[in-house]
Amino acid sequence: MQGFLSIILLCLATTAIAADIPSNQVDMNDPKELLRIAAHVNAGDFGWTADPAASGFASLSHVQTLLGTFQKGDARWKNVTLPVYKGTVSSAAATDFDARTQWPSCSVIGRVRSQNGCGSCWAFGSTESFEGSRCIATGKDIEFSADDTASCGNGGRNGCNGGQPSAANQWLASTGVVTGGDYGGGGCLPYVCPPCKNILPGHVYPPGCPTSQCNPLLTCTRQCSNNAYTKSYSSDKTKAMSSFSVQNVAGIIKALSTSGPLAVAFTVYADFPAYKSGVYVQTSQNELGGHAVNMQGWGVMDGKAYWLVKNSWSAFWGDGGYLKIKKGVNECGIEGDVSGTCHTNSCVKANGGGGGNYGDGDGNYGDGDGNYGDGDGNYGDGAGKNVVV
């Protein structure tokens, strides 16, 4: 009888915890809201831990400034049709995979960047996917410019005001991107948005770097901003051979293990910014907006299958800038908007080669040392199946 009462009390306590954060009743501007959400997560048996102090966000409204990915239903969302990556996975497929350890010579894969108070996540997710998969294909460990993608890419050309990683990947194949790393770094066009000013140690997000400091600077100039860089903007452009979408878990696993990191879009809920460790599952019903990240692997932790994902909120956030999110159930939509770029002929063939002309008339998709084209830039025979993402 005593054991039965204990079970009832535990159930009641869990219900009370869940009731602490009713749907659509979070205070977006209250600094204590993230503390309440973290307490809710840590008191429950959700399989992950929350630490808002480590996240560095002052409020949920500050989080929203970083969520710049357009999702279906948004008036700004575009129908982007990309060839579908065709991949099958054998029963002998690895139970875990990490692109960082699979290709250790490609340091760009594990390098965590920061949007610095700008809603340019869509540009970071796609550009980091591009540079990672290109390094795997060519052996060239080069960082490319999220600034160029955000300001000039057809993912929106809106900079901090949003875009789509699928459209950005399409642009990376049709137009290409220049080199460039973090603010003050090397390459043609380093990120123009200044680093956030620390409010407290480890706190590197708004309001320490309000969007107003970045948005006016993030414009498409089509010029290199690094005076020490010797190449011109146009000569520094590098293109992918093609871009593609992925429709299912088997395809994601195949693409990750053969071509490399992918750009993925998903919905961020109010509990996500407080993530610290474990396998994330949604515990809040309060949507904050659309976000894009860089998917790099998969695995199993405490019996829970997960995707390994790199965020662009600096290495202070989450688990060293990374997170694990539940795999196989389209958690928060993370398996529903997946795209990448091809840098090898085998990758192009894997997505049917359909989807059109990615050429510029001369078939040159390299950086001066590699011809990926066939003279007319046509990589499709029209037979490839397309999908809207």
**pLDDT at site 372:** 33
Residue 330 located in a structural domain: yes
Is 362 a residue whose pLDDT tops 60?
no
- Under 8 Å between Cβ of 284 and 271: yes
Is 159 a residue whose pLDDT tops 60?
yes
When pLDDT is averaged across residues 48-74 and rounded to a whole number, the result is 88
Cis amide linkage into residue 207, ω under 30° from 0 = yes
Residue 335 located in a structural domain: yes
Domain containing 351 — which CATH number?
Answer: 3.90.70.10
Residue 270 located in a structural domain: yes
**pLDDT at site 91:** 57
Convert the pLDDT of each residue in 70-88 to its tens digit.
998 899 998 899 999 986 6
When pLDDT is averaged across residues 90-96 and rounded to a whole number, the result is 75
Burial label for 24, CB within 10 Å (0-12, 13-18, 19+), is: exposed
**Distance of alpha carbon 240 from alpha carbon 225, whole angstroms:** 23
Mean pLDDT score of the chain, rounded to an integer?
83
Residue 41 located in a structural domain: no
Q: Which residue has the higher pLDDT, 284 or 155?
A: 284
* 14 confidence band (pLDDT: 50, 70, 90): very low
Range list of β-strands (E), 217-312: 242-246, 262-269, 275-280, 287-301, 304-310
- The region of weakest confidence among 80-84, 185-189, 201-205, 344-348 is 201-205
Residue 95 located in a structural domain: yes
Q: Which residue has the higher pLDDT, 132 or 5?
A: 132
When pLDDT is averaged across residues 260-278 and rounded to a whole number, the result is 97
* 375 confidence band (pLDDT: 50, 70, 90): very low
Is 316 a residue whose pLDDT tops 60?
yes
The contacts found for 302-309 with CB under 8 angstroms, 24 or more apart, are 302/47, 302/278, 304/47, 304/279, 306/279, 306/280, 307/252, 307/334, 308/97, 308/98, 309/264, 309/334
Residues designated catalytic: 121, 291, 311
Measured between alpha carbons, how far is residue 295 from residues 100, 123, 168, 298, 378 in Å?
11, 14, 16, 9, 28
Residue 348 located in a structural domain: yes
The amino acid present at 33, given as its one-letter code, is E
- The region of weakest confidence among 36-50, 60-74, 189-203, 358-372 is 358-372
**Cβ neighbour number for residue 90 with a 10 Å cutoff:** 7
Element (H or E) spanning 323, and its range?
Answer: strand 322-326
When pLDDT is averaged across residues 229-243 and rounded to a whole number, the result is 97
**Distance of alpha carbon 79 from alpha carbon 91, whole angstroms:** 35
**Cβ neighbour number for residue 113 with a 10 Å cutoff:** 24
Is 214 a residue whose pLDDT tops 90?
no
| Domain that residue 291 falls in | 50-388
Is 6 a residue whose pLDDT tops 60?
no
- Under 8 Å between Cβ of 323 and 309: yes
Tell me if residue 151 falls in helix, strand or coil.
helix
Residue 25 located in a structural domain: no
**Distance of alpha carbon 380 from alpha carbon 5, whole angstroms:** 67
Q: Which residue has the higher pLDDT, 321 or 376?
A: 321
**pLDDT at site 346:** 86
When pLDDT is averaged across residues 253-264 and rounded to a whole number, the result is 95
Q: Name the pTM for this structure.
A: 0.84
Residue 334 located in a structural domain: yes
Is 26 a residue whose pLDDT tops 70?
yes
- The region of weakest confidence among 289-293, 328-332, 372-376 is 372-376
**pLDDT at site 157:** 60
- The region of weakest confidence among 33-42, 75-84, 314-323, 376-385 is 376-385
Task: Report the number of distinct structural domains present in the chain.
Answer: 1
**DSSP code, position 160:** G
**pLDDT at site 116:** 87
Among 88-102, 151-165, 272-286, top mean pLDDT goes to: 272-286
Measured between alpha carbons, how far is residue 48 from residues 43, 44, 319 in Å?
10, 9, 11
When pLDDT is averaged across residues 24-50 and rounded to a whole number, the result is 91
